[in-house]
């Protein structure tokens, strides 16, 4: 028994075992989500923070599952096809931010007993910073996370099942977001445990089959021979791969090296300078300030479980390039002709790379597992974003601004209603993204680079330095955003009306064109403004700089809850993780 759907006018057959795998996986997710979320509506803490009782393995798996979604399986593979292995940077650079989270931020996030990051920012700074960050969180969650994930998943399933855009995105939103509405963070987090397992297994299947196929093309066998072929073809020194690289090089600045993670300072995606600056300008915001990521940390049993969860997430991030980067390199080795099309057509077709590899390589019976992995990736991120966005709306907007005496039942009810509204809005925004016809991964990264730097700067300073005050933070984020707008306007000057750009000089220097370089400049500027203004104004009050909110350099109050013996030790496993990632970076930068 087979059901056949159409992909790019070619038959894409799903065996009954594929349908069985998809059905079992989805039913398992819903069963786990329903059971774990059944009694989580009694209090706001239960619904929004899983009663603060998540163990480390759930914290870690859900931390990564919330992060990995369609923009990785679709957008990141597509970007790897175009730019090369440098996209592994987005996984490996996270480890530095994870280290900051483990050693510097978790002790204070847990000790503060905050429901949300905006709430923590009010305790440390003031109400203005809290509300500003809450609004930015809502914007980024809707546009850069939820809508983008739904869009990426929709175009993937459109290609597989040949369905119209709007019905596909609506059905996906309903199925993917329902668990977050039902059981809050508990349902979202526990259902991520099987999701990350299936995601890794499914991704490995695609990669291993791709490498084996490459080996077969040259008369070899196995993944080792396939890996050698992949590397050789991506070095692009001969044949059609050289022609493809030369075609791409016309749109790249300076050196175009597909097999290095260290690239020129004006590289459009990952200039080498960002191995330092992206950690501070974007990664700290994404991993330590981003509500939909940090919410599972805030829901951990204690500081130890939060830290060990992030260590586990680090190991998962270290191996993720095997399933979200290598497939892009495999695709280039198989289909270099994609790069020879008009440049405007390359990115959309590259974003279909994952589906092409699945339909070309994966046999009947295993397709279902791989497609289940794609759905699980979408579902886990949608659940995480819906839950975190409703938490911010409830705690930082509804309760803080409109109903300060709201009961737990009223807050949970508002959270459920707001989750439904969030899903509806995200579906509409996904349609807007479809009209842009741009690279999904680049679209998302540009959002991060625009909104993150000012808040990353004040958060780091606020944890490290007691003299930093609310006025310094408020002015820094305000002026920081103004600088970000000016830089983005300068970059787009040629395409904007003259009255919007009359105050700007000529063309932007080429080294400043990459959006991450702009983010680095905004971060440094915000840092300086925050320090200067803080020292020009009165010191913060005593309750804003307690040991629960700021590091005490006399006590170094960050070394509690590190575990006992080596196999439980946060220190041991963090050192092992650091050694692994440094070795990987060096291997692909020499």
Cα dist from 422 to 169, 428, 527, whole Å: 14, 10, 33
How far is Cα 116 from Cα 352, in angstroms, rounded to an integer? 36
Report pLDDT digits (tens) over 290-323. Answer: 888 888 899 999 999 999 999 999 999 998 888 8
The DSSP bridge pattern shows strands 10-15 and 2-7 to be: antiparallel
Question: What is the reported pTM?
Answer: 0.86
Burial call 541-565: b when 16+ CB within 10 Å, e when fewer: eeebbeebbbbeeeeeebeebbbee
Q: Are 37 and 183 in contact (CB under 8 A)?
A: yes
Q: Are 144 and 448 in contact (CB under 8 A)?
A: yes
Which of the pair, 7 or 472, is modelled with greater confidence?
A: 472
Supply the pLDDT for residue 115: 87
Alpha-carbon dihedral sign for residues 463, 136, 102, 116:
positive
Nearest to 349 by CA among 78, 69, 150: 78
How far is Cα 399 from Cα 393, in angstroms, rounded to an integer? 8
Supply the pLDDT for residue 61: 92
Rounded to 5 degrees, what are φ and ψ at 54? -80, 130
How far is Cα 110 from Cα 133, in angstroms, rounded to an integer? 19
| Domains observed in the chain | 2-264+284-433 (1.20.1730.10)
Task: State percent of the chain over pLDDT 70.
Answer: 91
Most confidently predicted of 35-44, 81-90, 119-128? 119-128
Supply the pLDDT for residue 532: 97
Nearest to 325 by CA among 241, 230, 419, 396: 230
What residues have CB less than 8 Å from 135, skipping those under 6 apart?
Answer: none
Q: Poorest-confidence range of 194-198, 211-215, 433-437, 530-534?
A: 433-437
Cα dist from 275 to 82, 174, 240, 521, whole Å: 20, 38, 32, 14
Q: How confident is the model at residue 435 (pLDDT cuts 50, 70, 90)?
A: low
Supply the pLDDT for residue 343: 79
DSSP conformation class of 300: B
Q: Poorest-confidence range of 79-88, 154-163, 277-286, 404-413?
A: 154-163
DSSP string for 167-206:
HHHHHHHHHHHHHHHHHHHHHHHHTHHHHHHHHHHHHHHH
- Is the confidence at residue 262, as pLDDT, over 70? yes
Supply the pLDDT for residue 293: 86
Q: What is the mean pLDDT of residues 132-136?
A: 92
Nearest to 471 by CA among 538, 410, 411: 538
Mean of per-residue pLDDT scores for the chain = 85
- Is the confidence at residue 252, as pLDDT, over 50? yes
Q: What is the mean pLDDT of residues 372-384?
A: 84
Report pLDDT digits (tens) over 97-120. Answer: 899 999 989 999 998 888 899 999
How far is Cα 60 from Cα 182, in angstroms, rounded to an integer? 22
Cα dist from 84 to 233, 264, 532, 534, whole Å: 11, 14, 41, 43
Q: What is the mean pLDDT of residues 333-356?
A: 85
Write out the H or E segment, with its range, that includes residue 274.
Answer: helix 274-278
Supply the pLDDT for residue 5: 38
How many helices (H) does the chain have, and how many strands (E)?
Answer: 30, 2
DSSP helix/strand/coil, 540: coil
Write out the H or E segment, with its range, that includes residue 6.
Answer: strand 2-7
Supply the pLDDT for residue 234: 92
Cα dist from 376 to 128, 233, 368, 523, whole Å: 37, 32, 12, 35
Q: How confident is the model at residue 436 (pLDDT cuts 50, 70, 90)?
A: low
Which of the pair, 436 or 327, is modelled with greater confidence?
A: 327
Supply the pLDDT for residue 10: 52
Which of the pair, 41 or 326, is modelled with greater confidence?
A: 326
DSSP helix/strand/coil, 42: coil
Supply the pLDDT for residue 449: 82
Which of the pair, 512 or 387, is modelled with greater confidence?
A: 387
Q: How confident is the model at residue 12 (pLDDT cuts 50, 70, 90)?
A: low
Report pLDDT digits (tens) over 19-31. Answer: 888 899 889 988 9
């Amino acid at each position: 028994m087979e059901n056949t759907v159409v992909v790019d006018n070619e038959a894409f057959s799903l065996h009954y075992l594929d349908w069985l795998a998809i059905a079992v996986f989805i039913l398992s997710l819903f069963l786990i989500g329903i059971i774990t979320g059944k009694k989580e509506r009694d209090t706001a803490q239960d619904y929004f923070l899983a009663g603060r009782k998540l163990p480390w393995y759930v914290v870690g798996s859900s931390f990564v599952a919330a992060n990995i979604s369609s923009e990785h399986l679709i957008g990141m593979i597509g970007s790897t096809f175009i730019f090369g292995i440098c996209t592994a940077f987005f996984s490996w650079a996270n480890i530095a931010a994870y280290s900051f989270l483990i050693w510097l931020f978790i002790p204070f996030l847990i000790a503060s007993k905050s429901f949300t990051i905006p709430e923590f920012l009010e305790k440390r700074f003031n109400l203005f910073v809290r509300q500003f960050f809450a609004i930015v969180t809502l914007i980024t969650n809707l546009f850069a996370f939820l809508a983008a994930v739904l869009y990426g998943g929709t175009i993937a399933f459109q290609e597989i099942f040949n369905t119209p855009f709007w019905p596909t995105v609506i059905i996906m939103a309903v199925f993917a977001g329902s668990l977050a509405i039902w059981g809050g963070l508990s349902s979202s987090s526990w259902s991520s445990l099987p999701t990350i397992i299936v995601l890794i297994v499914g991704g490995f299947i695609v990669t291993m089959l791709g490498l084996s196929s490459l080996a077969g093309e040259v008369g070899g066998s196995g993944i080792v021979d396939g890996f050698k072929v992949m590397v050789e073809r991506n070095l692009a020194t001969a044949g059609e791969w050289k022609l493809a690289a030369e075609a791409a090089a016309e749109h790249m600045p300076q050196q175009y090296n597909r097999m290095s993670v260290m690239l020129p300072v004006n590289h459009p995606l990952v200039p080498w300078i960002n191995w330092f600056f992206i950690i501070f300008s974007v990664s700290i915001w994404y991993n330590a300030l981003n509500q939909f990521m940090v919410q599972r940390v805030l829901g951990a049993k204690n500081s130890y479980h939060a830290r060990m969860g992030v260590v586990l997430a680090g190991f998962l991030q270290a191996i993720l390039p095997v399933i979200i980067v290598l497939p892009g390199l495999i695709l280039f080795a198989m289909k270099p002709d994609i790069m020879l099309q008009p440049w405007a057509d390359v990115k959309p077709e590259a974003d279909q790379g994952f589906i092409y590899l699945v339909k070309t390589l994966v046999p009947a019976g295993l397709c279902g597992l791989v497609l289940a992995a794609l759905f699980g990736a979408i579902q886990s991120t949608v659940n995480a974003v819906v839950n975190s966005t409703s938490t911010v709306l409830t705690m930082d907007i509804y309760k803080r601004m409109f109903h300060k005496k709201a009961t737990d039942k009223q807050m949970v009810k508002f959270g459920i209603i707001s989750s439904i509204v969030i899903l509806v809005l995200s579906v509409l925004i996904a349609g807007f993204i479809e009209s842009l016809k741009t690279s999904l991964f680049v679209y998302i990264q540009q959002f991060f680079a625009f909104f993150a730097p000012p808040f990353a700067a004040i958060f780091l300073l606020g944890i490290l330095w007691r003299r930093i005050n609310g006025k310094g933070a408020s002015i820094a984020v305000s002026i920081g955003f103004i600088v970000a707008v000016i830089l983005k306007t300068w970059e787009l000057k040629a395409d904007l009306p003259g009255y919007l750009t009359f105050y700007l000089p000529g063309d932007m220097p080429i080294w400043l064109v990459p959006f991450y370089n702009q983010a680095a400049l905004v971060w440094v500027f915000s840092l300086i403004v925050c320090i200067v203004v803080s020292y020009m104004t009165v010191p913060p009050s005593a309750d804003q700089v307690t040991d629960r909110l700021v590091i005490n350099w006399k006590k170094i109050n960050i070394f509690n809850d590190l575990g006992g013996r080596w196999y439980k030790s946060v220190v041991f496993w963090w050192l092992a993780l650091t050694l692994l990632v440094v070795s990987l970076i060096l291997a692909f930068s020499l």
